[in-house]
Structure 1
Amino acid sequence: MNPDSVNFTELLNGEPNPQLDAYEVFVCVLSALTVVLILTLNPICLVVLHRASGIQETTKVFMASLTVSDICIGLFWVLPDLTQYFNRKWVLGSFLCTAIGVASTSLGGLSMFSLLLLTVDRFVAIVYSLRYPTLVTLKKAKTIVAITWSMTLTFSIIAFGIFLPYVISPSAPRKCIVASHYNIYTSIVVSAIAISLVTIFILYMYILNVARQQARRIASQNQISVDLGDQNAPQRVSTKSATTVFIITMTVFICWTMSIIYTVTFSISEAILPPNFGDITDLIFATNSWLNVVIYYLRNRELRQTLHELIASCFHRGF
């Protein structure tokens, strides 16, 4: 047996696992906490979304897509990485290494694409508010999400499961990494993230411009209505939902920036990076998967009220 390999059978048989240093314990604790937060907050968010009646059903579909992708990141990315941190190497086998590589890249993309769909949804709701019910129907929303998930998973399986697969490093530390052509991998990942973020930013700037124009028009109509004694003056168009999406986007940008910098730098030169720096960037990246739920809660009164009612109902049944 290879003396460098450590597996769960050996651990169950009582053979000691190499002792973790302070930094590795810190990473393991943060990883475990991240998994708990992702797998606790996001399922609760799905239940609350299902029960909330004040949110449009089409918007719920896009929010659910983002939430499910966050759950999958916790299950199929952070949790397997946690076993790698505890054992100082990949112990789940070569097949799962390749599968996790496909999952991590596809789920990161799905999280970004779901956010892009949410932005487009808010764009249509504000810019084409009168036509929104016909432009974005529940059936169309579900179809768009299904196509997005199918295309992203298919591309990831072909690109990162066949042509750019993850493998177990032959030298210590034996971790699950991209086998070859890292520059191509970096180009694909960074380009997809950059294009999505730029698109979201442009759409939001357009939303703000339209909102300002509508605000000026409504202000002038209100003044005319007041002069004429009309009490039914038009109300200001709310952009709170679009602002919420923008806040989530900025959170994504902050959480993902370190990982992008690491990916690009690693593709240029491994020597200039601190050891295990990628572990921290991955954790910061994964943190975004539970921060989204916190932002939903803080920004949406309907979700807060529904969650409070759900908790009260649970306590009432419990007692």
Structure 2
Amino acid sequence: MVLEGENWTNTSNIGHDQHDQVDMTYQTLLICKAVAVSFTAILGIVINITCLIVLRRMREMNPVTRVFMTSMTVADLGTVVFIASPVIPSTILDRWPFGDAFCTLCSMFNVNFFFASFMCLLNVNLERFLAVSYPFAYPLLVTVNRARMTAVALWFCSIAFSVFCSYMPGREIYFSKTMHTCLTGPLNHDETDIFGTAAFLLFVIIPFVTTLCLFLRLYLVARYHARQIAAQQTGHNTESRKAKAERKTFMTFFIMTMVLSIGYTPLVASTVYENITRISFPAYLVYLAEIMGFANCFMNAIIYYFRNSKFRREARKVLGVLIPLLNAGNEIESLTVGSSGGSTASSTQTVRHR
């Protein structure tokens, strides 16, 4: 298995003291990265599982939006479970400890969940665009069954593409020393990764640009509706509430898109730069970009919590049920530990007496 990335330990041309200093700096960076990724993974697992429960319980939510939001949450949860979590021990050990088979799976997960996140967000925004731009045709164009079929097709294409990337002729699976995860790349590591760059263009850059175009169109539609409302006299209050709801929904998904772009842009930029030039960014910059990408996996749920009152109300109910269960579990554990401790003390006294 090929090891790539910034090699901090290649210090044959420096003195002994400088060698120790560089090694200490490198170990400190590894510890900081492991702690940050661990914290991010725990938050991502808890928040996304809670989000899935809330989406399941929300009956007032648009069912089509719920399908696409659930698909996006599954992609975020898969990222923190199958990509971020293995990065923690590989960062601590500074090597891949899980074997070649799981390395192959992990490379597929990197392609699958990363591209699925962008495509799921594009689906959510496209659904909102159709709802606002074509309100009368929307019920006929967008149905729950079609939304489910679209989500299934998206995941099928994403999985098929990840398998293709891993077993495509002329490419191999390798362990990245900077990202501490398994990726796919060309057999010749000095060769420009045209295929990887094209994949980023097709599944990341184009969906993001398309989403921005949708937001621009939604902004123009919102302005047009505002002018119509101002010219109407009857039903003004009802239409105003509807316009406010549309504007709030528009801003919610706009914030989600901007947060996703901010979170993933450094990682995408460093990866595309390395694919084209075959020159790696400094390790600490890659660490920061990777942590920002992982942190983005639970930001959608947090944004939706603060922007949607129905989601927030249902989330509080779910948390109100889970927290007492956790407290009850802690009390039971304390009682168990206490009783076992008492039994141990009694047995110890018996042994001493004997």
Instruction: Pick from 185, 194, 205 the counterpart of residue 205 of structure 2.
Output: 194
For residues 78-227 of structure 1, what are the structure 2 equivalents within 5 Å? 78-163=84-169, 164-168=171-175, 176-180=182-186, 182-222=193-233, 225=234
Using structure 1 for the length normalisation, give the TM-score: 0.84
Q: Secondary structure at the match of 1:176?
A: strand
Deviates more, 1:115-124 or 1:128-137: 128-137
1:284 counterpart = 2:295: no
Using structure 2 for the length normalisation, give the TM-score: 0.76
Residues 33/175 of structure 1: CA separation in 2 closer, same or farther (3 Å cut): closer
Q: Secondary structure at the match of 2:95?
A: coil
The CA distance in 1 between the partners of 2:218 and 2:34, in whole Å, is 42
Question: Pairwise CA RMSD of aligned residues?
Answer: 2.6
Indicate conservation of the 8 Å contact 2:119/2:203, yes or no.
no
Deviation at 1:256, TM superposition (A): 0.9
Residues 255/315 of structure 1: CA separation in 2 closer, same or farther (3 Å cut): closer
The CA distance in 1 between the partners of 2:238 and 2:150, in whole Å, is 37
The CA distance in 2 between the partners of 1:93 and 1:159, in whole Å, is 19
* The structure with more radius of gyration: 2
Deviation at 1:242, TM superposition (A): 2.3
Deviation at 1:271, TM superposition (A): 5.0
Indicate conservation of the 8 Å contact 2:68/2:120, yes or no.
yes
Indicate conservation of the 8 Å contact 1:101/1:165, yes or no.
no
Indicate conservation of the 8 Å contact 1:105/1:156, yes or no.
yes
The CA distance in 2 between the partners of 1:231 and 1:247, in whole Å, is 28
Deviates more, 1:70-79 or 1:263-272: 263-272
Q: Secondary structure at the match of 1:165?
A: strand
Deviation at 1:278, TM superposition (A): 2.3
Deviation at 1:232, TM superposition (A): 7.2
Deviation at 1:57, TM superposition (A): 0.9
**Which AA in structure 2 matches 1:65?**
S
Residues 272/42 of structure 1: CA separation in 2 closer, same or farther (3 Å cut): closer
The CA distance in 2 between the partners of 1:314 and 1:172, in whole Å, is 38
Residues 124/39 of structure 1: CA separation in 2 closer, same or farther (3 Å cut): same
How many correspondences in the alignment?
295
Alignment identity in percent? Answer: 25
Indicate conservation of the 8 Å contact 1:94/1:167, yes or no.
no
**Unpaired stretches in structure 2, ≥5 consecutive residues:** 1-22, 329-354
The CA distance in 2 between the partners of 1:294 and 1:172, in whole Å, is 29
Residues 155/296 of structure 1: CA separation in 2 closer, same or farther (3 Å cut): same
The CA distance in 2 between the partners of 1:39 and 1:78, in whole Å, is 10
